[in-house]
Amino acid sequence: MIVNSEQAGEIQAQRKAIQSTRRVISDGLEDILYEAQPVLDHGFVRVIDYLGNDSSIVQAARVSYGSGTKKARGDEGLIRYLMRHRHSTPFEMCEIKLHVKLPIFVARQWIRHRTANVNEYSARYSILDREFYIPEAATLAAQSTSNAQGRDEILPENEAKAVISYLKSHSEASYDGYKKMLADEGKLGLARELARMNLPANIYTQWYWKIDLHNLFRFISLRADTHAQYEIRAYADVIGQLTKRWVPIAWRAFSDYETGGAHLSAAQTKCVKAMLMGTEINQENSGMSPREWNEFKDLLNISESV
Amino acid sequence: MIVNSEQAGEIQAQRKAIQSTRRVISDGLEDILYEAQPVLDHGFVRVIDYLGNDSSIVQAARVSYGSGTKKARGDEGLIRYLMRHRHSTPFEMCEIKLHVKLPIFVARQWIRHRTANVNEYSARYSILDREFYIPEAATLAAQSTSNAQGRDEILPENEAKAVISYLKSHSEASYDGYKKMLADEGKLGLARELARMNLPANIYTQWYWKIDLHNLFRFISLRADTHAQYEIRAYADVIGQLTKRWVPIAWRAFSDYETGGAHLSAAQTKCVKAMLMGTEINQENSGMSPREWNEFKDLLNISESV
Amino acid sequence: MIVNSEQAGEIQAQRKAIQSTRRVISDGLEDILYEAQPVLDHGFVRVIDYLGNDSSIVQAARVSYGSGTKKARGDEGLIRYLMRHRHSTPFEMCEIKLHVKLPIFVARQWIRHRTANVNEYSARYSILDREFYIPEAATLAAQSTSNAQGRDEILPENEAKAVISYLKSHSEASYDGYKKMLADEGKLGLARELARMNLPANIYTQWYWKIDLHNLFRFISLRADTHAQYEIRAYADVIGQLTKRWVPIAWRAFSDYETGGAHLSAAQTKCVKAMLMGTEINQENSGMSPREWNEFKDLLNISESV
Amino acid sequence: MIVNSEQAGEIQAQRKAIQSTRRVISDGLEDILYEAQPVLDHGFVRVIDYLGNDSSIVQAARVSYGSGTKKARGDEGLIRYLMRHRHSTPFEMCEIKLHVKLPIFVARQWIRHRTANVNEYSARYSILDREFYIPEAATLAAQSTSNAQGRDEILPENEAKAVISYLKSHSEASYDGYKKMLADEGKLGLARELARMNLPANIYTQWYWKIDLHNLFRFISLRADTHAQYEIRAYADVIGQLTKRWVPIAWRAFSDYETGGAHLSAAQTKCVKAMLMGTEINQENSGMSPREWNEFKDLLNISESV
């Protein structure tokens, strides 16, 4: 359960309140506004509000007096041109506000994206809920030996079981200690801002997060990437699907030119040119380090015998 | 005339398109959405879009599941508390997008507010219109002798007339030169990005500008201030009135705690305390420089004999 | 012990390497460069590098070709004028880089200051040290009843002892669990990015943090304030002393005009004016809420009978 | 002449003042510190101060207690890894401060880079110098027909001459008008903040500009690009050479992975893979628009017959 019944009621009440507006709307987001999209075991992402849609990008790029859109085809062409040539400011003219529930260790990665507005639930003011992220066995993996920042082989079943069992009991015990520090029969009890310090990084927190579309694309590009930790990737993927609903044309351009493409280094560009001319290239004559060469082969599906 | 008839038609068309939304709305802004509010002789400010209203501030501060509002009285109290204690993040949860037409020398001051999104009309791509800011006689003043960055005594009528006449003819001649460089019978014509370089700083440009409420308050606080140049103050004042329409409760708190109040230095605070205890204070025993003492007297309406 | 002997050796080696430079220097910072200033039980702040000094503020304000300084008296006057009139950009022309070791719950408040550069020790890549913040009994206090975000009465000795004893054993047990998940005889071991999730918020992390002087003043103003949590205030106070060493003139202006002064609301300003004219003011005729009235009395040492 | 003799004297005086410091230095920048590097006809870029060097990048990435460097080879490898994998924060740990003299129309493009600190010479406070950018004939070109934002064919000699002659006389006449509005025998004279409004966009202004290395790379990447206007490119090129002096290893990584490389879209990546497998690809079966196909051919030197 990601929201309790009282919260579900508040969400339903807000979904039912329909208003009239002169502003542009996004049908894709109106459909799911306020609804909690589940992520991990207790987390969610909810779209709370938004400003603008695909037409707002072209309207700003043209500094228009009216809606800014011409023919649908021309609009899409312009959006793709802007994306391809790194004209970021028109994409900044759309804004989205999310309510996110997430483990603290994910929040600590997320907050590094500075060009965004954040209001986090205050554990100085309020008492945190007894909700902890406990990974599924299938996501418990050993340290990667090739990538010092990642994970690799999945743990064998008995190891995974032991980890999960430990995390569960440790989380519960930590929360019991937290509550006991806060208040205990006949005692004064510790201030909230201090008592929280024993809580582990897998406890859930929540915040309101607001960001413009250009910086949201940066967030998704970095956090839905295979180098990002699985847990934040789970949020980035869900937010990607919400973004697709919001601004389908911009999303397509982003997928085609950013995340779906490939960035070649100077040496790699030179090698591709040579290979297209028929020259045989291997690591030795490529000008790349072995590590870069391997990344290159993966990127372009190159077998060693090319 | 600040918009031509074609532009007025586009604005009317957009005002007529009413949509349904689940988002919160601001009645005060819906009323005037897209309409051009005149500023200076040819400038304007138009609200193009907005996100959130007063209730969004309390909703974010409470990290709510529902609308976030409780009793109206509690909401206002919370907003005032947040403003008084410099909790800026809940105010960042509201966003507004404006279309502004303004002289280039005003744009150059305005752009210094970096925490905002901007899309300016491109004079590399398009040809600028023949519209220049020509001040009214009543605003033409001499250099201030007390404040090196300001103006002071109004120019006598004949001087003002001469300035206005010169600015008009210089503006027209500059524009003629611009058009001639761009294209002339039988000539290739200069690229737009180059031809614009002869245009003076009083020509109008325009942009889309998007900013959150906290940073908008900073903009208004600095640019509606008496130390700001009259021309940008004219814009800040109009935007202030739009902000009042948008978030009337937050506006009241801002007026009470920010712009309407006074900031005392350490020495000034000490003097007020002493004066309230009955001690006579003058510049000599105040610990203030003569300049600071004068600012202090003005601030609190203190006559020298206190 | 806040740094181990190997770290102390590295610090000493760097302190001994003296170079020649054409850049301006700050004698106050050169004296203590790289040295660890202790904060809390295991934390520290070290100045790693800096750019500019007091003279850089006036040099930028004057957009100078040379050093920018005139008479020392004129420089101080200009810096005070800039501070008093909220000219923030010249203060942005100085920059400082710190190495900070701090508990995670302090890091989570600190990171909210977005206009700064941060590089944190990566627990995806490295294994965290066994170091936890354990508060002293004198800082353990109960939840404040008047200020929902603060602490109040100090805990009685037996309660404090119990809390400290629990935090110590919980920290040690958590760290043991962390190490066991990472590696255990005959087991594959969990990836670092996952194993860290059981570690509590009082474990120490560290980062490099770089910020300009204007934003540093904002940080100090908010975090050395009495409303800030004691633990981050301890860091802000130490950083304040380092800032005083770095830019003594700017620090004096900041103390006089920002932290040492008082901000009056519109109602409070009106009351001070009336009181200076001899009118008796109390909460009823002040136009302030009881809460604001109490803040006002504290601010100006006003007894009820005024 | 880009600096007058008084300014040259101030620069020399500052170059002669050598100090001792414990900070890391960049020999490449010390050599040319404060010296004016000429750009365009009257502009310049001067390095005023800097913080950090190549070693600071690895020191921050490792959150080191000492200098942070290991073997030179390992350092370069780490810097290249960070650049390749978009780890931007370690590059933010270096900072540079420049004094720049530049035409106003260039300043208006430049200022759009918001993550930087700026202090501009104030024409509210001071009187601007009689210095205007007059382009050389070889840079005067017609509007591009293929790229709506650029220039193309060089103007014929007689057209270029006419443009230059007009710009010169218009600049002089504008400046005469400016001086006359400011002060004229027996008149009060107009305030500076108003008088400046007739000055054209090719007049020179100047500012202090401070930025971190990551954002500097972004600036160079966008402004030294062939799509940028020639005049700002001239500045970006000079700043690129200064950056190479400052952080030679990071510069090499930037050149190899950013500016020297190529970004392929999803369709382009697919085509390269297919072509390397021997499939013949043309615009029709490429999945690209004609425009994107042409960009692709240019990128990889592909002849139509591939």
Average pLDDT over residues C195-223: 97
pLDDT at C220: 98
**Chain C: closest CA distance from residue B280 (Å):** 11
With an 8 Å Cβ cutoff, are D263 and A264 in contact?
yes
Task: Give the C-alpha separation, D110 to D98, whole Å.
Answer: 13
Is residue D149 assigned to a domain?
A: no
Q: What DSSP string describes C45-81?
A: EEEEEEE--HHHHHHHHTT-SS-----HHHHHHHHHH
CB A65 within 8 A of CB A92: no
Residue C20 forms beta bridges with which residues?
D20
Question: What does the alpha-carbon distance between residue C151 and residue A250 come to, in Å, rounded to a whole number?
Answer: 49
Please indicate, yes or no, whether residues D121 and D252 belong to a single structural domain of this protein: yes
What's the number of domains chain D is made of? 3
Q: Are residue D275 and residue D182 in the same domain, yes or no?
A: no
Task: Look at residue B306 in the predicted model and tell me its pLDDT.
Answer: 42
Given a cut of 70, whether residue B75 has pLDDT beyond it is yes
Residue B245 pLDDT: 98
> Which of A294-298, B199-203, D6-10 bottoms out in mean pLDDT, i.e. has the lowest?
A294-298
Q: A280 CA to chain D: closest CA distance, Å? A: 11
Residue D42: partners with Cβ closer than 8 Å, 6 or more residues away:
D1, D2, D101, D131, D132, D133, D204
Checking if the pLDDT of B68 tops 80, the result is no
What type of residue sits at position C156? Answer: P
Q: Which of B106, D15, B185, B287 is nearest to C252 (CA)?
A: B287
User: How high is the mean pLDDT of chain C?
Assistant: 93
- The mean per-residue pLDDT over the stretch D202-210 comes to 98
Highest-scoring range by mean pLDDT, B58-67, B262-271, C30-39, D151-160: C30-39
Whole-angstrom distance, CA of residue B88 vs CA of residue A275:
56
Residues 6+ apart with CB under 8 A from B8: none
Mutate to test the interface with C, among A194, A227, A229 (most CBs of C within 10 A): A194
Using CB atoms within 10 A of its CB, is residue A219 exposed (0-12), middle (13-18) or buried (19+)?
Answer: buried
Residues A152 and A119 in one domain: no
CATH number of the domain that residue D63 is part of: 3.30.1360.170
Which residues, in sequence order, are CB contacts of D176 under 8 Å at separation 6+? none
| Chain CA centroid to CA D162, Å | 29
Nearest to B189 among D105, D115, D143 (CB): D143
Q: What residues of D act catalytically? A: 223
The reported pLDDT for the residue numbered B184 is: 81
Contact A197, C105 (CB under 8 A): yes
User: What pLDDT sits at residue C261?
Assistant: 86
Mark which of C173, C198, C223 sits at the end of a domain. C198
Q: What is the full DSSP assignment across C88-157?
A: -GGGGG-EEEEEEEEEHHHHHHHTT--SSEEEEPPTTTSPPPS-B----GGG-EEEPSS-TTSEEEEPPH
Looking at every residue in chain A, the average pLDDT score rounds to 93
Antiparallel, parallel or unpaired: β D95-103 and D117-120: unpaired
- Judged by average pLDDT, the poorest of A21-35, B19-33, D38-52, D283-297 is D283-297
pLDDT at position D148 is 73
C281: DSSP letter: -
In this structure, the answer to whether residues C125 and C143 fall within a common structural domain is no
Arithmetic mean of pLDDT, B163-190: 94
DSSP-derived pairing of the beta strands B151-154 and B204-212:
unpaired
**Same domain for C141 and C286?**
no
Instruction: Look at residue B86 and tell me if it is in a domain.
Output: yes
Task: Report yes or no on B174 lying in a domain.
Answer: yes
How far off is chain D from A58, nearest CA to CA, in Å? Answer: 16
pLDDT band, residue A72 (cuts 50/70/90): low
Average pLDDT in the D107-135 region? 96
pLDDT of residue A278: 87
What would the two tokens of residue D27 be? 């020999």
Contact B210 A93 (CB under 8 A): yes
| Pair B233, B124 in one domain | yes
Cα B172 to Cα B170: distance, rounded to the nearest angstrom: 5
The answer to whether the CB atoms of D14 and C90 lie below 8 A apart is no
Q: How many other CB atoms are there within 10 angstroms of residue A19's CB atom?
A: 13
CA distance A152 to chain C (A): 8
Do residues C80 and C143 share a domain? no
Say yes or no for a CB contact (<8 Å) between A34 and B19: no
Residue D141's pLDDT is 93
Asked, for residue C306, whether it belongs to a domain, the answer is no
Are B273 and C301 inside 8 Å of each other by CB?
yes
For residue C294, what pLDDT is reported?
87
pLDDT per residue over C217-275, tens digit each? 999 999 999 889 999 999 999 999 999 999 999 999 999 999 988 889 999 999 999 99
Choose among D23, D25, D208: nearest Cβ to C60.
D208
Looking at chain C, the whole-number percentage of residues with pLDDT higher than 90 is: 77
Residues C189 and C111 reside in one and the same domain: no
Residue C208 makes CB contacts below 8 A (sequence gap 6+) with C48, C97, C98, C99, C100, C117, C118, C119, D59, D60, D63, D93
What is the average per-residue pLDDT within A46-73?
88
pLDDT in tens, B205-263: 999 999 999 999 999 999 999 889 999 999 999 999 999 999 999 999 999 999 988 88
What is the average pLDDT across A54-65?
94
Q: What is the pLDDT of residue C306?
A: 42
Do B151 and D193 lie within an 8 Å CB cutoff?
yes
Tell me which amino acid residue B231 is. E
What is the pLDDT, as a whole number, of residue B262?
87
CA distances from C43 to A15, B86, D42, D212 (A): 48, 28, 52, 27
Give me the residue from C260, C261, C302 closest to B276, CB to CB.
Answer: C302
Contact state of C163 with A190 under an 8 Å Cβ cutoff: yes
The residue among C76 and A145 whose pLDDT is bigger is C76
| Interface test with chain D among A217, A269, A293, by most D beta carbons within 10 Å | A269
Query: Are residues D134 and D164 in contact, defined by beta-carbon separation less than 8 angstroms?
Result: yes
ipTM greater than cut 0.85: yes
Whether residue D36 sits in one domain with residue D109: yes
CA distance C150 to chain A (A): 7
**Across B176-189, average pLDDT:** 91
Answer yes or no: are the C-beta atoms of A221 and A259 closer than 8 Å: yes
Q: What is the pLDDT of residue B148?
A: 73
Do B232 and B182 belong to one domain? no
Residue C250 lies in a domain: yes
- Residues of D within an 8 Å Cβ radius of A: 77, 80, 84-86, 89, 112, 222, 227, 255-257, 260-269, 272-273, 275-276, 289, 292, 295, 299-302, 306
Determine the average pLDDT of the residues in C30-58. 97
Nearest CA in chain A to D267: A256
Residue A189: domain span: 137-198
Residue A306 lies in a domain: no
D167 and D188 within one domain: yes
Please tell me whether residues D171 and D208 are part of one structural domain: no
| Interface contacts A/C by beta carbons within 8 Å | 148
Residue D189 has pLDDT above 90, yes or no: yes
Residue A306 reports pLDDT greater than 60 = no
Nearest by CB: A261 against D89, D261, D265: D265
